[in-house]
Amino acid sequence: MLDFSKFLKYSKPGPRYTSYPTALEFSDSYGYDEYINKIQNQDSSRPLSLYFHLPFCRNACYFCGCNVVFTSKEDKMIRYIEYLKRELKILSQYLDMKREVIQMHFGGGTPTFFSASQLKEIIDEIKSYFPNFVKDAEISCEIDPRHIDEDQMRVMAEAGFNRVSFGIQDFNEKVQQAVHRIQPYDVTKKAMDLARKYNMVSVNVDLIYGLPYQNLETFKETLSLALTLNPDRFAVFNYAHVPWMKKTMRKIDETTLPLPDEKLQIMQYTIDFLTSHGYKMIGMDHFAKPEDELFKAIEKGQLHRNFQGYTTKGGADLIGVGLTSIGEGVDYYAQNYKDMKLYEAAIDEGKLPFERGVVLNEDDQIRQFVIMELMSNFKLDIKRFETLFNVNFKEYFPDAVDELKVFVEEELLIMDENHIECSQTGTLLIRNIAQPFDAYMKKYAKSSKTFSKTV
């Protein structure tokens, strides 16, 4: 069992490191012309990863931290498709669209809030601009089981989608009511059966612990029910309660949220339960079957992390399309407008809807490599790092090396001249372990309303 007293002292705000620098460092000082210059001059031998944000939902789930537009109006969705098409046309003026595409992801919102015919229209448009999807491209979609039918699944399967992720969060009815998401088991089972019928290579489910009214006993029931669906991967997220950022989270009664020690018990049980049923912990929050490609990648130390989560598809430039989408190149991050009116206005002017971003300097790239290696593979090959960047690790990171000593003393980390590696328990604190390498954390040290808590 975990030493709860040891873990609780590490419960402090910290980034989830889907990027480094984090989105807090994005600004409009990175200008439009500079961004255009970046995408025009990308290395054409590098493959592409595509992200399309389909932002619409009918109702708010109170736990959700995504950028969402709530609507039931068909005309808004038709209008959005037209703007996506126009954005792609503008993008084609600057980006080499003939580059190989190795990954594409539809996120939201609820991508399957769009009808089968609308999804086909979007996909056909994408493929008319990007003709070179590789044979084994990872093509995925986030799906709300309450909004999926056979026609939609057929369209995705015929278009080459091979991975779907179903949001469950929790099967307990009281928890579902508290977070405004009623989703009976039978609805989820029907969606899972559809995915299997249409031969999705990998079917994933998302759970969240730390929601209102959850406790160890109720979450045990959720895990047992989820296991009967036989998913290929589990993502079990620690609920990030950030009501100062997301207004819908203010509807959650904070007195009903489980305390950190209860969350730790849930986390410990989840790890024991899933590993005893054949799953392996992969990266932060994720579990996969041994035959899954993520499992094989982490065994080889080749797992990667980007805004789409964990992937085996490294070395690609990420292009974000749609409202609030984020792109990533070798030395930059770029984000589209979050406000629909501003997004549309940019496209009406014949411009990409780029709002802000950040260019990485040499120090950013060095720290990015270390943080992403730790977040993805729970270890760092120091000698490989020194060869890649031509620096001495301990001389470059004297403060970080010093800060990591407490993790070594508590057997959460092994560190010697050649490598850093988390113990199995240390992997649960990987956000804390990565933080000493973050050059921007000091300015947020006194703020409790910047990041969600790590535990």
Q: pLDDT tens-digit profile of 328-383?
A: 999 999 999 999 999 999 999 999 999 999 999 999 999 999 999 998 888 999 99
Which structure tokens are listed for 356? Answer: 């802000």
For 417-426, the pLDDT digits (tens) are 999 999 877 8
Q: What is the mean pLDDT of residues 126-135?
A: 97
pLDDT at res. 6: 65
Q: What is the mean pLDDT of residues 395-408?
A: 95
Residue 283 backbone zone (phi > 0: left; psi -120 to 50: alpha; other: beta): left
- Residue 448: band (very low, low, confident or very high) from pLDDT cuts 50, 70, 90: low
The least confident of 284-288, 296-300, 413-417 is 296-300
Which structure tokens are listed for 42? Answer: 């990308």
Question: 0.95 cut: is pTM over it?
Answer: no
The verdict on domain 361-444 having CATH code 1.10.10.920 is yes
For 263-289, the pLDDT digits (tens) are 888 988 998 999 999 998 886 788 999
pLDDT at 12 over 80: no
pLDDT at 1 over 60: no
Are the C-beta atoms of 333 and 306 separated by less than 8 Å? no
- Output phi, psi for 141, to 5 deg: -150, 135
- List, by residue range, all CATH 3.80.30.20 domains of the chain: 20-319
Specify which of 118-127, 290-299, 309-318 reaches the highest per-range mean pLDDT: 118-127
| Contacts of range 302-306, beta carbons closer than 8 Å, 24 or more positions apart | 302/377, 303/376, 303/377, 304/372, 304/376, 305/17, 305/18, 305/372, 305/375, 305/376, 306/18, 306/19, 306/49
Are the C-beta atoms of 54 and 114 separated by less than 8 Å? yes
Per CATH, which fold does 20-319 belong to? Answer: pyruvate-formate lyase- activating enzyme (3.80.30)
pLDDT at 450 over 70: no
CA dist 97 to 37, 92, 100, 110, 140, Å? Answer: 16, 6, 8, 27, 20
pLDDT at res. 376: 85
pLDDT at 252 over 60: yes
Specify which of 179-183, 244-248, 443-447 reaches the highest per-range mean pLDDT: 179-183
- List, by residue range, all CATH 1.10.10.920 domains of the chain: 361-444
